[in-house]
A and B are shown apart, each in its own frame.
Chain A
């Protein structure tokens, strides 16, 4: 079974508007971390935001916030005030287990296009 599911292959948003990118996950491990990365066309993966499974509050980093709904196993990324430079591929990832290994799993990504 897919551990990370990103159901939106592509999304469009108007510049300056907010957009939500969906991510659902599957794990039986009580300890896990959820990450969002941005991958521009140049190829490098850029860390955006992190949410731990025991964190009580939703994570925020500047214009990025993570809508964490633990019971629904969802970790949606919200980008506020979209900018043209936000056009990129976005990946949701999960790291499981409170061990050194901390297995990492990525979703297949969502391509975001910001329209001027």
Chain B
């Protein structure tokens, strides 16, 4: 079974530029998460999708971050314009279903450096 695919693995941009990350979850997984992991910290949930609908985006900085999952499968996360503090690893995860016990499977992440 293929895992969660993310691209690119690494990205370096200058502040005020825009960037987009792509995630393809495990086939059949209805729930998709985007997390931001700053160096030395645990992942912070940015947005959670159930199929193509947003169920939680309370921690997404909506003035600069946006995410979509148009067909309920793959997803993109965009930052525009980027700030220095956006430097982090962006992790995508998916689970078969929502719910307390649902195991989330993570991709390898995209490491973003903003200079």
Interface residues of A (CB under 8 A from B): 4, 31-33, 35, 37, 42-47, 50, 52-53, 91, 93, 95, 97-98, 100-109
Interface residues of B (CB under 8 A from A): 33, 35, 40-45, 48, 50, 55-56, 58, 89, 91, 93, 98-109, 111
Task: Tell me, rounded to whole Å, the shortest Cβ–Cβ distance linking A55 to chain B.
Answer: 9
Cα A41 to Cα B35 with chains together (Å): 18
Count contacts between A and B, CB distance < 8 Å.
Answer: 67
Q: Known: A4-B42, A106-B43, A108-B41. Is A42-B108 also a contact (CB below 8 A)?
A: yes
Task: Tell me which residues across on chain A come within 8 A of B55, comparing CB atoms.
Answer: 100-101
A-B contact pairs, 27 of them (CB 8 A): A31-B100, A33-B100, A35-B103, A37-B106, A43-B89, A45-B106, A47-B103, A47-B105, A50-B101, A52-B101, A91-B42, A93-B42, A97-B100, A98-B100, A100-B55, A101-B48, A101-B98, A103-B45, A103-B56, A103-B58, A104-B45, A104-B48, A104-B104, A106-B35, A108-B41, A108-B42, A109-B41
